[in-house]
Structure 1
């Protein structure tokens, strides 16, 4: 197993991406700590992980509350002899479907502010423990290289998160903490698994499990030389 004996925190662990990543981490041997604002859906994900033979713990947490996130990271580190992986999959409260010309400034900036806040809060809380051991991996859903209309503040948000990740990588990588982000055009809803964007080269958009498998790789020792790195899961929609 790629993540055996690792301790992983998944913020936003009850969302579609967070749940898929949490299950994949557990499948590969990591003890998972799932956080979110609402406990019952987190417990559903944890129960599924446990039914599959994995380890999962649940905590109610507001990822914008720095003190609360710090306390949670301290507790996880104390219980598991450190933190190996931190994945931020919290929602950004974005509003899509309208051109920027028609949007109120507050609606454009809301997801930017929330995403940068939660990413910095969760990453720094975990990184303080990782630096002490000289190892760890921070993962974020980011990107921002697409040219797609009517995304509201989403595209600006992803671009901002890429900048945050690059700076974190520059500061933390010399201390043994790797930072990577996953670029995905969005995953299909149930029943849409075979539909692809017309501009993509592959016939299918990535499923949530595809994103989760990429996260497992990025968190594992197989990616030990990768930091300040984007994992492009767009199927060619965004070329490298």
Structure 2
């Protein structure tokens, strides 16, 4: 298993992507700490993980509350055998606003998802990174991107673009301490079936499913990707070429 003995935090652990990533981390041997604003759906994810033989813990947490996030990271780092935090994945929502052109949006509406996304990424990443620095390594993962050229993505697209800047800055500052940073670019993962057809312009016939995103996160978090940082994992099926 790729993550045996690792400790992972998944913020936004009850969302579709967060839950899939949490299950994949646990499947590969990591002890997973799930956070979110509402406990019951987190407990359901944890129940599935435990049912499959994995380790999962749940905590109610507002990822915009820096002090609360810091306290949670401190508790996770001290838990178990006290080996710290190996992986932190931020899958919290960004109050996305899509469907209208920028010409029709108020500035406040455009900036709201940007502020939320940058805030949660900074709070969660820096809280975990402080403990990763102490132990000489770790991996920070984020859902980001922003290279699509699709109209109507509004403030959400700008938020994703902003997050790539945050990730690059973190990678530059944390690399000397052995901490890696990567982000996943995915155009979304609808339910299987006809609706899972790739967007027009993609090179492959299907969008990635949640499990595809989760498996990419496992790879990025593992030692198999130990030389990768300040980098994007492109899961667009060729919609956004490199």
One fold, TM greater than 0.5? Answer: yes
The size of the alignment, in residue pairs, is 240
Q: Answer whether contact 1:193 1:205 (CA < 8 A) is retained.
A: no
Q: Which residue pairs with 2:201 in the alignment?
A: 199
Q: CA offsets per residue over residues 138-187 of structure 1, 9 Å max, x none?
A: 00000111100001101100110000000000000111000000001111
Counterpart-to-counterpart distance in 2, 1:58 and 1:77: 15
> Does 2:38 match 1:42?
no
Pairwise CA RMSD: 0.8
Which secondary structure state, in structure 2, belongs to the residue aligned with residue 212 of structure 1? helix
> Does 2:225 match 1:237?
no
Match of 1:142 among 144, 156, 160: 144
* 1:1-240 alignment, distance < 5 Å: 1-80=1-80, 81-192=83-194, 194-240=196-242
C-alpha deviation, 1:189, in angstroms: 2.7
Which secondary structure state, in structure 2, belongs to the residue aligned with residue 179 of structure 1? strand
Counterpart-to-counterpart distance in 1, 2:194 and 2:95: 23
Which secondary structure state, in structure 1, belongs to the residue aligned with residue 88 of structure 2? strand
Q: Answer whether contact 2:87 2:139 (CA < 8 A) is retained.
A: yes
Q: Answer whether contact 1:31 1:56 (CA < 8 A) is retained.
A: yes
Counterpart-to-counterpart distance in 1, 2:96 and 2:190: 18
Normalised by the length of structure 2, the TM-score is: 0.98
C-alpha deviation, 1:10, in angstroms: 0.0
Which secondary structure state, in structure 1, belongs to the residue aligned with residue 79 of structure 2? helix
Counterpart-to-counterpart distance in 2, 1:146 and 1:89: 19
Q: Where does the alignment leave 5 or more consecutive residues of structure 2 unmatched?
A: none
Normalised by the length of structure 1, the TM-score is: 0.98
C-alpha deviation, 1:194, in angstroms: 3.8
Q: CA offsets per residue over residues 31-54 of structure 1, 9 Å max, x none?
A: 000000000000000000000110
Counterpart-to-counterpart distance in 1, 2:196 and 2:139: 32
Q: Answer whether contact 2:189 2:196 (CA < 8 A) is retained.
A: no
Q: Where does the alignment leave 5 or more consecutive residues of structure 1 unmatched?
A: none
User: 1:47–1:193: structure 2 CA closer, same or farther, 3 Å change rule?
Assistant: farther
Q: CA offsets per residue over residues 6-58 of structure 1, 9 Å max, x none?
A: 00000000000000000000000000000000000000000000001100000
